Amino acid sequence: MNPRKSSRGTVFKINMYLLGAFSYAVGAWLIWPDSLKWWGFGLMSISLGITAPAMLIKAIMIMFKLYARDKEFAEFEEANRVAEPSELASVDDLKKAGMIK
């Protein structure tokens, strides 16, 4: 079991939220009406304009969650890494250190 699964799906989700926010913002700007005759497009433009920052905020929140998750895994792996064995001291090393005669 590998607790550190790939975050490819999360990165894809972030990219889709960012693409959606950009598309909604551009759409809101493009369909803004020039006259009151097309008031329906104005309502649609306002709704797209409200949704675009909401999607951007959602993408940023997912980014922070992914960063916190990766940081937590890095701390966990650092704390639980396998200790490397040290070399045994030879008799000469022990005599030089004054531990034995």
Whether 47 is in a domain gets the answer yes
Domain that holds residue 14: 8-96
Is 1 part of any domain?
no
| Residue 1 pLDDT | 41
Rounded CA-CA distance 48/74 in Å is 39
Is the dihedral angle over the CA atoms 13, 14, 19, 25 positive or is it negative?
A: positive
> Tell me: the pLDDT tens digits for 3-32?
667 788 999 999 999 999 999 999 999 999
Q: Is residue 25 part of a domain?
A: yes
- Asked whether residue 3 is domain-assigned, the answer is no
83 or 101, greater pLDDT: 101
- pLDDT score at 78: 82
> Structural domain tally of the chain?
1
Token reading at 62: 């997912």
pTM for this prediction = 0.70
Quote the tokens at residue 27.
């759409």
pLDDT tens readout for residues 47-76:
999 999 999 999 999 999 999 998 988 888
